[in-house]
Each structure stands twice: as structure tokens, then as C-alpha cells.
Structure 1
Amino acid sequence: MTGALFRRQWPAVACGALLWLMAFGAGWWWAPADPTGVSRAPKNGDWDLYTEILARNVGVSAALFLGVVTFGVMTIPLTLLTGILAGYYGGQGSAVLGAEGVVRHLLPHMPLELACLALAAAAGLVPLVAWARVGLTGRAGEPAGGTVPRGVTGFVARSGFPDACRLWGVAVAGLIVAAGIETWVST
């Protein structure tokens, strides 16, 4: 089921990943190399930390996904903003932690977390990419159910909303795992 979802929505996944990861890279690039004034406060892995991390990450992913309400248009500035901020803070953290600290405290959870946030951005971009596909190719992508009904239900299906919800669900599932890794492995 997930494989078929990614095959149907690969253009949105590619656009979301490219946009979010480019913004993340720009934020990391702009982060100060001098960690003066930035400190690291060690935290203990517990359920409070887990819920704090999970709430923050799911909140960001929800903001990225809610661009689907504006047919993907608001996902673009939100992706740029959250990607740049996350990259900036990640770059600051790497300056404070050093190479050994990055391997110990960021590398265990960061790849999964970044991929899931990029997937949430992709979910928010699904309607925009579906609209662009129709405009560029003259045909819509295949919806999950095969035939598309008429009216509002058909419009929602053609815009890719069901697939956008599924993509966001996969992103949230990954963020649940990433929050656990960040809490009990990366701390």
C-alpha cells in the first residue's frame, strides 16, 4: 500500500523533499560557526522529554501538511521557514557539540526526522503538484480508488487529498519513532 502511494505521489514527494532539504541546508549554512553564547544543557531521556519532542515535531509537520487546505500554496513558505530554522538550529548545535557530539547526539535520530518532515511538506504539496501535473501533461494522476466520482467528492479525489492524508500519516508514524530515538538514544 505504501509503495503504491509513493509511486502515485512521487512528484510531490520529490518536490517536498527538495524544497525542505534545500531550506534546511541553507539554514545550516547560515548558522554561526562560532558557538560563543550558545550552551548545551544535557537532558535525561524520560516521557516528558519524549512528549515535548513529539509535540514539537508533529506540530511542525501539521503546519506543513495544512497547506493542503490552500491547495499546497501555503506549504511553500512554511517549508522554507521551518527548514531554514531547523537547519540554523542544527548548525548551531553542531558548532557547540563538535564532530563527536554530532555523531552521538544528532546522527541517531536526525536522518529519520528530516525525512519525515520533508514527507509532511510533500503531503502539503500534493494538491499543488496534482494541479501542475494536469496543467503540464493534460492528465491527472491516478487516484487510489481507480475511478473518480463527479462533484465535490471527485474534486477532492482528483486533488490528491486522500493521498496527502496518507503521506502525512506515514510522516507522523516516522516522527513517533524519531522522537523515541531522540529521547532515549540521542540524549
Structure 2
Amino acid sequence: SWKANFLTKNWDLYDRIRRVDPRWMRSWLAKTRTFPESRQKLEWQAQDETSLWNCVLSLRPSGIRAKRMTHLPALVAITQTPILGPRDRRLSPREAARLQGLPDEFDFGHQRDALTYKQLGNGVNVGVVWNVLKAHVERDRDLLLATERGRAIYEAVTNAPQSPLDPVREALARRQHAVAADALVPVAAH
């Protein structure tokens, strides 16, 4: 099993270091035992990388996870924003929004970054939703074409652009225009 393999490899590493420098190992263990439990485990999923700082780091309740820079972890709705090792910083809200397929024009307003990360973590990539909808409509083509309402749905989806990016940008522009127009309307005095 993976857990037995994991434990065996950890014991082998411990044993090799202990044989080379037992004093250093005792000192290291004394130090790491003062770490919070969430920092005592390192889950290495970065294959042949040689440094943590070449990896994406996730500080999780179960420990620190290191992955190659070719894979970012799922955005989650809590405080586990990935750290980009080579850039020595966390993933920005804008970068997280791009991963969810939102264009740079998308604005989260003046809310705290933590709320933005939470919203993105609870969301699904725009392109994924777009393509799943198109696949379902094509799968259910015969069923949809059997009714007037179904035909309208089928035509709307099959005639939609290949990518959701342009419609999202158009909706954002309409929203910005409406907000600007609302700002011109005087507020009635009470």
C-alpha cells in the first residue's frame, strides 16, 4: 500500500541520516518536534526536483505538500493559498482568477483577498462549465429537440462561441456601463 511504502521510505531516510550523523539527527528531531503538527510532515510530490524553492508549496492542515511547478493544487475555500517557490510568494488573487478562466477585466471589488480566494475555491473554471454544458446538450440532443423549449436551449448552446471568454468580457462591459450609468442618477433626499 502507499502508506506502507511512505513509512518505509521515511524510516530508510531517517536511518541513513542517523548512521552518518546521529548528533545532528537528535538536534533536528528536537527542533522539529517544536513545530506545529501541520508543519511536521513534508509530502514530496515533486519527483526529481532538488529544492523546495523549485516547487509549488501548499501549507495544509496535514502538513506541507511540495509539487512540481507544472501542477497547481486545487484552489480551496480556506487559507491554503499555494506558494510559488521560484517566485518566493503566494499565488495572487488575479492569478487564481485566471486559473478559474476569468479574464483580467473581472473585478472582485474592494473585498479582502481571503474572501476572493474563498469564492474562487468554491467556484469551477468557466471553460470547464462551458464545455460540460455543451457536451450535455449534445448528448441529450434528441430529447431537447422534442420540445420547443428544448430546441431553444439546444440552439442557444450550439450557436454559442467556442470559448466563454468573449461572452464573459461582454457581460463585464455591460455591468461596468450599468454601474457608471447608476452613478449619474441623483440620490433622492429623504
TM-score under structure 1 normalisation?
0.27
Report the structure, 1 or 2, having the larger strand content. Answer: 2
